Amino acid sequence: MKKGLILLFSLLLIACWLPVQAQGPQGKMATTGGDQAPVFPTMPGPGKKVPLPGGYYAVYGFDKKPKLGMLIVKVEIFSQDGKKDTSFELKGDSGMPSMKGHHDSGDQPFQLSKKGDYLLPVNIVMPGDWEIRLTFQKGGKVQYRGSYQFDV
């Protein structure tokens, strides 16, 4: 009888403890599947064409060689006929893959310059491995995601 009560009490304790442990920082249940982070495939290097849906392509680069301090990511988008296109919305995120969450900028919108270039400042705060993640949207729908890793 005692063993049965101890087993029942243990199972009850575990049943009450598990949901508390599965809660995230906001107290919401952790989920799997639908709430997965988006995938950012590796893009060709700076200065090379990045194919986009609909025959578009992008070319990205930096205003200077990546080093400590402020760096500007510049993206140009072209249509099939090679004309500059400014109909996309771009977002960028930067951070250190080896230190997830410590230096991540979070999604930031690119600003469109008068020349039709998409620009995003990135603050490189320490030496090491860095990554930029770009999201290309058109009409509110994601058209392409890509990432580029570099070392400072």
Q: What is the pLDDT of residue 36?
A: 84
DSSP code of 28? P
Mean pLDDT over each residue of the chain, to the nearest integer: 84
- What was the pLDDT predicted at 29? 37
In contact, 130 and 124? CB cutoff 8 Å: yes
Q: Which domains does the chain have, with CATH numbers?
A: 49-151 (2.60.40.10)
In whole angstroms, what separates CA 88 from the centre of its chain?
17
Sign of CA dihedral 47, 98, 95, 141: positive
- What is the per-residue pLDDT for 68? 95
pLDDT, average across residues 134-152: 96
Q: Model-level pTM?
A: 0.74
Is the pLDDT at 19 greater than 90, yes or no? no
pLDDT, average across residues 114-142: 96
- Tell me the torsion sign for CA atoms 86, 65, 69, 41: positive
